[in-house]
Structure 1
Amino acid sequence: METKKLSKSLTDNRFGGWGWSMIFYTMILYFFYAAITTDGMNLIPSAFAEAHGWDANTLLSVATPAGLIGLVGGFVFGRLVIKTKPKNMSAVTLIITGILYALLGMVPSVALYTIDLMLICFFASGFGTAACPAFIANWFPRKKGIALGWATMGAPISSSAFVAGFAVLLATKGIRTAFVIFGVLAVIVGIVTFFWAKNEPADVNCLPDNMELDETVSTQEVVVDNEKYSIRNILKNKNTWLIVFGYGFLWMVLVGIISQFVPRMMSVGYTNAEALTFMSITSIIAIPGSYLWGWLDSKFGTKSISIVFAFSYVAALVLLITSFNIVCVWLGCVFAGLGIGGLLNLLASMIISVFGRDGFMSANSIIYPLANVVRTLAFILMAMLLKVSGGSFTLPYVVFIVIDIIGAGLIMLIPYKKA
C-alpha cells in the first residue's frame, strides 16, 4: 500500500504554489543557459562572419576553449554554492553574464570575441550548472524527475524562441542592438531573483516535494558528511567517471546536433527561413518531450530511461544523415526534438540518485563541470570533421553515433536502484 502511495506521489504534479514558482524560475534559468552557451551558436558565428569578414568555422571552434573556461566556472561556483546559497549566486551571475553578453556585440576583433565568450561561459555556469540544479535538489529531492521534466523545458523553449527571435533581432536591429537587448533581459531577471527565488522550502514554511511530513521527514535534517563527499573521495568514486563520460558523451552528441541544426538543413538545399522553421518545430516538440523524459524517469528509473534516450538520438542522427528526403527530415525533427530537454533532466537526476540530497551539491560541483567539458568538445570536433569532410555533415554524424553508443554503454555500468 505504501509503495503505491509513494509511486503516485513521485509522478503527480502537486508541487504547491511555491514549488511551482521555483519550477518556473529554474525553467527561466535553463532558458538563458541554453540560449547563451548552445543555441546562439546557430547564429553567432555566421552573423559575425558576415559583419566583420571573420571565418565562421574559427568562431565556432572558439566555443570549445570558452566551454573549458565554463568548466572552471562550474567547479568554482559549484563549490561556492555549498558554502553560500543558490539565490544570491544565481542573481549575481545572471547580472554579470547579461552585461558581458551585451558587450559581445560590440567586440572589434576575434581576440576580444574569444575573451568575452570565455567570460560569458564562466559566469553563466554560476546560474546554469551550479545554482539551478541546487534549487531542484533542495526543493524536490524525491520528485526530481518530474520537477526537472518541467524545469528543463526552458532549454527547448530557448531553441525555438531564442533562435527565431534572435535571428529577427540580428536581421532588423544589427549585432550591437540584438546583443544589448538580450543582455539587458538577463540583467533584469538577475535583479528580480533577489526578491523571487527561495533557497529551500523551509524559507517559506514549505516541505520538500510538497509531500506529507511522514513522507519527507528523512529529507528535513540533512547533515553533510564532508569527508565522504570531499573532492578526493568523489574523484575516486568510479560512478563519478561513469556519469561524467556516459552523460558527457550524450551531451556532446546533443550539442553537436542542435548547435549546427540550421547549417545542416541549409547544406542540403533548404533556405535559411526553412531551416529556422525546422529548428522551431524541433524545439516545440522538445517542450512536451522534456516533461515526457521527466515522467518516464520518475516512473521507470533514471538509468533505464537514459539508455532509451541515448538510442533515440542514434535514430535522430540516422534520419538526419538521410535528410535529403523530406520524410526523414520530419522524423529527424521529432526524434531530435524529443531529446533536447531530456539530457539536463537525466544528468541531474542521476547525480541525485547516486549521491543523494546530502551529497548532491558536492558531487554536482565536480561531475557537472566535467561532463560540461566533454560536451564542449562537440564544437571543435564538429569544426574539425566538417573541414575534413569538405562541409558534409555525414562524417560528423557517423562519429556522433559511435560516441552516443559508447555513452550508453558507460551508463549501463552505473550501479542503480530505483527508489
Structure 2
Amino acid sequence: MKRAITFALLGSCCLAVPTLAQQSDATDGLGSVSSENSFGRDRNIGVLERRRPDYTPEPIQLGVLELMPRMAIGAGYDDNLYAQENDRIGDAYLRIRPRVSLVRPSPTLKLSLDGELDLLRYASRASENATQYSVNAGALYTISKSDTLNLTLRNGRYSQERVSPDSPTQASRPVRFTLSGGTATYTHVFNRLRVRGVVDVENRNYSDSVTPLDDPIDQDFRDHTTYTGTAVGEYALSPSIALFVAGSLNKRDYRERIGPVPARDSKGFELAGGASFELGRKARGALRLGYFQQDYRPVEFEDVSGLLVRGEIAYFLTPLVTITGTVDRGIKETGVNGATGYLATNMTLRADYELLRNLIISAGGELEKRDFNNIDRKDDRWTWRGSASYLVSKRMALRFDLQRRTQASWGATAGREFTDNRVSVGLTFSGL
C-alpha cells in the first residue's frame, strides 16, 4: 500500500526527460531507510511513505487478478536541448506515458506483469523525439515462513539523454539502446539472521548514430553483458540495529572488436560490511563501507580499485518534514571513447514537506563526481530540483517540476561544460 502511495506522488516526476534504465545492484536494498523492512522499524514514517487512503489508486478486480492502468500526460520546456556551452537551443515538448500493471496476489505465489510506453515529442526538433518502452515480469514464491524465491525479468528500449557524458556531442540524434535481463533472489531467515543469494544477468545493446553529414558514429563498442553474483548476510542485534556483510563477483563481457581498441572485458568484486539503524523516532539509516576492484583483460587498460561507500539516512525533522541524504561511491561503465569506466561519487540531499494532506513540496540537490579511468578527465555535475505533487483524488494527481543541471569538466580530454534548465507540468490518471 505504501508503495502505491509513493508511486502516486512520483507518477509524473519523470515527465521532464526520458527514463534511463540503471545498472542493477543486488545490494541496493541493504539497510534501506524505508519503514518496510524485516526489522519492523516503523516508529516514524517518511512523508512519501505515509498512508493516504483517500488518495490511493484502486485497481480493477478481474477475478483473482488486479489490473492497475495509469496514464501520465505532461508538457515542458528545455532551454538547452543539446547541452551546449554556447549557442543554446531550447524547445517545448509533450510526453505521454500509458502504463498497465497486472498482479495476481497470493500468500504463496505472487505474480506480476507491467508494461509502459513512453512517447516524447518535441515541438520543433523532431530528431530528439523518442519512443521508449519497458516490460517487466515477476514471481515471488513463498516456500515457507523462512524461505522465499523472487524472480524478475525486464526488457526495454531507451533513449540516452543529451546531457549524459556518454552521449556523443556530434550525433544528430540521441543514442538508442535496448536492455534485457533477469534476477533471481533466494532468501532464508534463521531467527535474527537473514541470508540472501542473488544472481543477475543484464545485456545492453546500443544502436549506432550518425553525424549531421550522415557519417556513422559507432556505438557497438558499448554492447555488453554483465553477470553478477552476490551473497548477503544480515544479523539483527535489536529491532533498532542490524549488521550486515556482502560480497559480489561480476563479469562484464563486451562485443568482440576488430581494430586498434580492444573490447573492455573485465572481472571484478566487491566486499563490504555495515549497519542499518533507527535512532529513536528522529532518524533511520544505513552505512556500508568496503573495497572494490575491477580488472580489465586488455593489458593497455588500467585496473581500478578503491574504497566503496554507500550511505543513506532519513531525518524526521517533524511529522510533516522528512530530510533524506545519500552518498554512493563505486565504479561505473561508460560510453566515453578511450575510457574503461569511471569512479563515481554521488551525494544527494532532499527535503519533502507535507504542506497539506494531499500536497507535497520537495526540493533537493545532487553532486555527481566522475573520475574517468584510462583517460585524463574529471567531471562535476550539479543537479537542483524542486517539485510539487497535488493529489486531486484517488484517480488523479498533478505535478510541477523545476530542474537545473550544470557540468564542469577538466583534464587533457575534458568533456563539455554546460547549464541546462527544465520546467514541466504533468497530470496522472490511475486506477478506476
Q: Looking at CA atoms only, which structure, 1 or 2, has the larger radius of gyration?
A: 2
- Structure showing greater relative contact order (alpha-carbon pairs closer than 8 Å, 6 or more residues apart): 1
More strand by proportion, 1 or 2?
2
More helix by proportion, 1 or 2?
1
Q: Normalising by structure 1, report the TM-score.
A: 0.25
Q: Normalising by structure 2, report the TM-score.
A: 0.25
